[in-house]
Amino acid sequence: MGAALRDDNFGADTQTVSFDAARHAAAALARPLDRSEDVPIALAAGRVLAAAIEAPSALPPFDQAAMDGYAVCLSGRKGVPVVLPMGGRTNAGDAPGVLRPGTAHRVMTGAALPTGADAVVMQEHVARRGDLLHFDLPIEPGAHIRRSGEDVVRGAAVIEPGRMIGWADIAVLAALGVRTVRVACPLRIAVVTTGSELRDGGEPLPAGAIYDSNGPMLAALLAGPNTHIVSLSVRDEVNAIADALQTQAGAVDLVITTAGMSVGDADHVRDAVGRAGGRLDIVKVAMKPGKPLAFGMIGEAYFAGLPGNPQAAAYGALAFVRPMTRRLLGQAPAKRVTARTAFAASRKPDRTELLPVSLSVEHGRLTARRSGPDGSHRMMPMVSADAVAVVPGASTPLEAGTCLEVLPFDQPRLGG
């Protein structure tokens, strides 16, 4: 194992940093991994694009009829009525026809516009008698024509790197004939829960033991097409934790631990990081819940040490780990989401508080309501919540109607 870090990096007097400073430091620590792979577009939904896609052709690829009707050439003709014989027909999928002078050409929606035509008249506005067509409405040049390239110009950048590919992107790519796209390889994440009291669900539960909830919770919170997650539990023994950290750091991009980040007799994660040859840049954050929270590196792997209480672990993942994963995947930071509070709360000037809230739209504004009582050990407030409200420290109480940042549990599409 690597040499242990200096004691002053891990001691009880280690400096506490502000919530905002910790967020900035965690994001700055992470660097895009720049690993990519090609996947078929049918499997690309939810993946992060790694290389810009330029349109190999225009959309529409040719001038098209936008309606079932008749293609005509006005050539300066004005006024009504106009009577023309029908001189041809083009269905969708046919090669472009030619509009003979002095005639109208039958076209169907999506069909190539006949050469020489400058307008399409809807069939509902045409009276047909045999092969003669009577147009009794004014005809505007360019009416009901989809021009080549009016949606996408050939060579234009259609989707930029860092975008999470959605169903609308798939539609455009398919229309352009794109079969595969280059996407960021999934992040490899290890979730290591520490605690001799932990048991897996279904196991017998001895007196004093509890079932591990943080491991499954964090695996679900971070799950998606862009992550591969492994989970394991380790007893409260410094060498066992160090061995697990060193092993996982050699196999994954990001190692996450829960519990053991404080300085109690059974808190061994800081020492274990040192024994595994790692470093910690931050070990305490001025926030509630979740003060004992750390970030650093173990070898080439990034490290995040989260607290053990469920709310503290979850909110640390929302506030710090998710932004780190976005950076590692090459994504831009998520857009900031704010909501008006429908509650008042006390607060302290020296820390940021994270409160579970439920979100709703009231009077045209996103509104946040408290979802349960205080207590970072409580799980039901999270079940009733949609997000966490970020309450900055202040010497005055929080008033109802204050606009606050919220961290949605489910990342909104508007976030990128």
| Angle (CA) 364 332 15, round 5° | 95
Q: Provide the pairing of β-strand 227-234 with 104-107.
A: unpaired
Write the pLDDT tens digit of every residue in 161-183. Answer: 999 999 999 999 999 999 999 99
Gap between the Cα atoms of 281 and 21, Å rounded: 12
Q: Is the pLDDT of residue 57 over 60?
A: yes
CA end-to-end distance (rounded Å), the chain? 40
Gap between the Cα atoms of 392 and 406, Å rounded: 12
Q: What value does the mean pLDDT take over residues 178-202?
A: 96
Q: Residue 63, Cβ neighbours under 10 Å: how many?
A: 21
Question: Could you give the 3-state DSSP secondary structure of residue 368?
Answer: strand
Which among 111, 78, 82, 85 is positioned nearest to 97, based on CA atoms?
111
Helix, strand, coil percent content, the chain, rounded in steps of 5: 20, 35, 45
Write the pLDDT tens digit of every residue in 243-272. Answer: 999 999 999 999 999 999 888 777 899 999
Gap between the Cα atoms of 156 and 24, Å rounded: 34
Q: What value does the mean pLDDT take over residues 24-50?
A: 96
Gap between the Cα atoms of 261 and 246, Å rounded: 17
Residue 165 to residues 226, 268, 371: CA-CA distances in angstroms?
A: 11, 41, 32
Q: What percent of the chain has pLDDT over 70?
A: 94
Q: What pLDDT does 77 receive? A: 63
Q: Is the pLDDT of residue 214 over 70?
A: yes
Write the pLDDT tens digit of every residue in 271-308. Answer: 999 999 999 999 999 999 999 999 999 999 999 999 99
Residue 371 to residues 303, 348, 374: CA-CA distances in angstroms?
A: 31, 21, 10
What are the structure tokens assigned to 73, written together?
A: 């050439």
Q: What pLDDT does 137 receive? A: 74
Which among 384, 390, 386, 388 is positioned nearest to 372, based on CA atoms?
384
CA 202 to chain centre: 33
Gap between the Cα atoms of 200 and 192, Å rounded: 13
Contacts of 315 (CB under 8 A, 6+ apart): 289, 290, 354, 388, 407
Q: What value does the mean pLDDT take over residues 372-376?
A: 90
Residue with tokens 């997000």: 387
Dihedral sign from CA coordinates of 84, 89, 92, 98: negative
What are the structure tokens assigned to 368, written together?
A: 């946040």
Contact 53, 321 (CB under 8 A): no
Q: pTM for this structure?
A: 0.87
| Angle (CA) 264 269 275, round 5° | 120
Task: State the Rg of the chain over Cα.
Answer: 31
pLDDT band of 415, cuts 50, 70, 90? very low
Single-letter code of the amino acid located at 138: P
Contact 229, 221 (CB under 8 A): no
Write the pLDDT tens digit of every residue in 71-103. Answer: 998 765 665 578 999 999 999 999 999 999 889
Q: What pLDDT does 364 receive? A: 94
